[in-house]
Structure 1
């Protein structure tokens, strides 16, 4: 039932990102999530990669918890800060144990 959130990030405002980090940690923990990778630079093996973009990977015990985190009042201010601090794309991924 594990669900993952993959976030592709290009940092544009380091100061605003400092505000975001603490709020994001609190919100992820509130929904039983874990950070598996934070602002990780990919090591390209195939294809073209934009060197300005890094990745953050979160895990949650279920897709419901992942969606609840993203839609929560706790995380809402973080989304607003992230709009100033980053250019990003976010995707939900189901784990192998999640039935489709």
Structure 2
């Protein structure tokens, strides 16, 4: 069953964020992930969404593969850069069986 990673992010260092994105994107594809939404500014239909925060949604073949990617040396290196450039919240959601 596919698994989704939903990311809520606020960028505070543009240069380092570009460096993070390059490494993260390569690692995502390496582990079978793909972008469904990339850095979008969400439009709130109910409640509020801070204007400074962006959303990314990734799809992986399954939860195990998503977790393998997140713990991988490739993504761990990217995440170290991310800590100095982007504030994130990440959640995993299982897809609906086909």
Task: Identify the TM-score tier after normalising by the shorter chain.
Answer: over 0.9
**Residue of structure 2 in register with 1:34 after alignment:** 34
The total of aligned residue pairs comes to 98
Q: Deviations over 1:36-66 (max 9, x none)?
A: 1111100111102111111011000000000
Quote the residue 2:24 is aligned against.
24
Q: Distance in 1 between matches of 2:86 and 2:25?
A: 17
> Mind listing any 5+ residue stretches in structure 1 that lack a counterpart?
none
Structure 2 length as normaliser, TM-score?
0.96
Structure 2: any 5+ residue segments left out of the alignment?
A: none
Which string of whole-angstrom CA distances, capped at 9 and with x for unpartnered residues, describes residues 3-35 of structure 1? Answer: 000010001000001101111111001110001
Match of 2:66, SS state, is helix
Moved runs in structure 1, 4+ residues, more than 4 A?
Answer: none
TM-score relative to the length of structure 1: 0.94
Match of 2:87 in 1: 87
Structure 2 equivalent of residue 59 of structure 1:
59
